[in-house]
Every structure is written in C-alpha cells, then in structure tokens.
Amino acid sequence: MYTAIKSLVYHNALQMQFDWFIIFTIAAELDPNYTFIDHLKSLKYPDDNLLVKFIEKIEISRTYFKGIKFEAYVKIAKWLIQLCHNMDSLFKLWSDILLHSNEIDENICECFIERFRENITEQDDAVDLESHFEKLPKDYLFDVSEAFQSQILFLLESPDRIWSKENITAIKKLLYDDNLIQSLELISESNTVELLNIFPEILDNWFSNNFTDTKRKRYQKSVQFGLKIF
C-alpha cells in the first residue's frame, strides 16, 4: 500500500502540485527512513514562484520534523538545500525552517556551502553580494570567500559598467585583502568617475592597516595604478 502512496507522491510532485505534502503527516510511522525522498531527487522548481510556494509548504510541514531519525533528517535537509536555487529560498530554509545542532550542521554545512556558491550568479551586483554576505552564517564566510572574490572581480572587469552610489558603497565593504591589488588595478581602469574616486580611500585604508614589507612593495605597485586616475 505504501508503495502506491509513494508513487502518487512522485507523480503529484513532478506535476508541480503540492498535495503530496500530506505524506509528512504519516511518514514517521509508515516510512521512518523517509525513503520517498529518494524518489524525489529529480524534483526541481525552475520557477521562483513555485519555489516560494514549496518553501511555504515545507515551513508548515516542519512541525513533523521533530523526532525524525538523525540520518533521515540529514537526508531531508540536504535534499531541501539542493532545491533552493536562489538565495532568498536558501536563507529562508536555513534560518527559519531547518533544525540546527552542532551534529546536524556538521553533516549538512558542506551541502549548504556548495549550494550557496552555485547561487552566486553573474547577475548579482555589489548590493546583492553585500546582502548575501550579511545573511550568511559567519562560520561559513571563509568557505565561500572565493566565490565572493570571483564575482567582485567579474563586476570590476568591465570598465564601462555603470556603478550606482549604492553599488559603490557596497563594493567598498566587500573588497578582500587577498585580491585587493587586482581590484584596485581594475578600479583604476574604470570609466565611472564615482568608482575611481574610491581608489585613494581604499588604498589609504589598506596602507594604514598592518603595513608590512610585503604590503609596502604592493603599495608601490598600487601607486602606479593610481597615477592613471590623477
């Protein structure tokens, strides 16, 4: 009988319907290992509105998550994370829906970090990145720093990109010391005067903080970039 129920769940879910969520009310008794999740690995919500509705349904169903076997819960959590193809849904899931403990987070953090990296797109501007940065659990900042840096450099690589005041303010907060020289060089090549104007401020701040011999050599190189501006 339960095989038939799982089949109905599968077909209802893949038709982008949400009646199948009722299975969460009985799964703990009939399917304590939540094997029906294994049949939904191919489920995707390409439409953001459908994903929003899915997250709403999961939030309602989270009351049935308590008491689930640890292994089953980790499987469910990873599956849910993979379904979140945009940042809004991912942060909503992580902050408001998933249960957390040191043991749970240790088992799902890698999945969360990978999904986060994938969700950073070329369409994300500096304001978007700053928002992601502020919402991201602080323990994972280092793990995703490369994705942030890559997108920052991508934004700066186009000298003709139009920079709003909000994006300029955001990019100043996001520049990493590891790629600061490259970022400054790209800023110096920008055709946006407002972006060029932040060059001296960024360089001065960097110069003032822990200025070592290595940074002194980098500073000399940065000055050469700065000469292009003035």
Same domain, 115 and 127: no
Torsions phi, psi of 42, nearest 5? -85, -5
Instruction: Supply 92's token pair.
Output: 């909503």
Residue written as token pair 């240790």: 106
**pLDDT score, position 66:** 81
Domain count, the chain: 2
Measured CA to CA in angstroms, residue 59 lies from 98, 109, 200 at distances of 9, 20, 48
Same domain, 115 and 8: yes
Question: Do 156 and 148 contact (CB within 8 A), yes or no?
Answer: no
Q: How many Å apart are CA 39 and CA 104, to the nearest integer?
A: 23
Q: What percent of the chain has pLDDT over 70?
A: 90
Amino acid of residue 169:
T
Domain span at 229: 123-230
**pLDDT score, position 212:** 55
Instruction: State pLDDT tens for residues 81-136.
Output: 999 999 999 999 999 999 999 999 999 999 999 999 999 998 999 999 999 999 99
Instruction: State pLDDT tens for residues 124-134.
Output: 999 999 999 99
**pLDDT score, position 213:** 52
Domain finish residue from 92, 119, 146:
119
Same domain, 226 and 209: yes
Helices 126-135, 141-157: axis angle to 10 degrees equals 180
Same domain, 175 and 220: yes
Low-confidence ranges of the chain (pLDDT < 50): 219, 221-230
**Rounded (5°) CA angle 192-193-199:** 105
Same domain, 127 and 186: yes
Reduced to 3 states, what is the DSSP secondary structure of residue 62? Answer: helix
